[in-house]
Amino acid sequence: MSSAQPEPFGRLPDGTPVHRWTLERGGTRVRVLTYGGIVQSAEVPDRAGAVAGVALGFPDLAGYLAFPRPYFGALVGRYANRIAGGVFELDGRTYRLPRNNPPNSLHGGDRGFDKRVWDAEATDHGVRLSRVSPDGEEGFPGRLAVSVTYSLTESGALRIAYEATTDAPTVVSLTNHSYWNLAGAGSGSAAGHELRIGASRVTPVDAELIPTGEQAPVAGTRFDFQQARKVGLGYDHNYVLDGPEAAELSDPASGRVLTITTSEPGLQLYTGDHIDAGPFGPGAGIALETQRFPDAPNRPEFPGAVLRPGSAFVSETVYGFSVR
């Protein structure tokens, strides 16, 4: 029997109801909204047993409607991160997307998956969200059927499993856009956290944060997190993962540790330099987004982001919590 429980969480301006699902297991409590597939909170203990929320979020729906841009906790799609110029070509056809991060398209456009209300059903220790993105939504081709399952393992890890199928060739990259502050959401800057990333290469970007196509070694540069060190600010970059062990983030003061494993080839490190959302300011949290590479639809040298009929987009990321 599922431990996930729903409750009303307000209504959108058009009257559409939003619900919040609470998952509890293994010492972790996670709350997920049907609006945007948002991870509203993740509560875990520190080394002394004191419980605090470690994912940035708002206490009510109004906060998410007032401050949509940080994408706090959101399920991002149809294509996570940036597509250069809001345009890509697929099978000889050109598709144009909203340039909501001028001059580029970001996180699925003006009304991406983060601004949609999802259907929800209980699963074993979790909740499955689903919706159909119609052909042409935000400029993307194909009718995309998507399901995303949030569940807690016996040890209290948060597992997010994504699946999507299409009736026409399209591009897909789905991620979760949680910002983490292991000292506690709203406790100040997360810049003192220590970070390790399982990547020996990074994809350099131009002035518009679009990858140049290069995969550059991180050794000896400020991008080198192969050994844990303080993260600071000034990062919004995609790392080329060496394997499934993507990252480890820790807060020395509280002892909380977050580990991320994934089936995805990339990890976006964003240190939240531009957060300006109510009580949360720059550096209030660190986003670690597992993903296909930014602008991969325009970069044939990058791992493929094209989904075709008869195939499925399948992805999994696990967020483990512990103390030391």
| Separation of alpha carbons 144 and 321, rounded Å | 32
- Contact at 8 Å (CB) between 273 and 303? no
Query: Under 8 Å CB-to-CB from 273, ≥6 apart: which residues?
Result: 233, 234, 236, 282, 283
- Contact at 8 Å (CB) between 230 and 193? yes
- Contact at 8 Å (CB) between 267 and 80? no
- Contact at 8 Å (CB) between 18 and 35? yes
| Separation of alpha carbons 324 and 321, rounded Å | 10
**Candidate list 43, 107, 125, 177, residue with the active-site label:** 177
CA-based torsion, 234, 263, 257, 53: positive or negative: positive
177 catalytic per annotation: yes
Phi-psi category of residue 92: left, alpha or beta, with phi > 0 → left and psi -120 to 50 → alpha:
left
Task: Please report which residue ranges of the chain form alpha helices under DSSP H.
Answer: 61-66
3-state secondary structure (DSSP) of residue 217: strand
Residue 68 to residues 21, 109, 172, 185, Cα–Cα distance (Å): 20, 12, 21, 17
- Contact at 8 Å (CB) between 248 and 259? yes
- Contact at 8 Å (CB) between 222 and 237? no
3-state secondary structure (DSSP) of residue 88: strand
289 catalytic per annotation: yes
Is the peptide bond between 70 and the residue preceding it cis, with omega within 30 degrees of 0? Answer: no
| Residue numbers annotated as active site | 177, 289
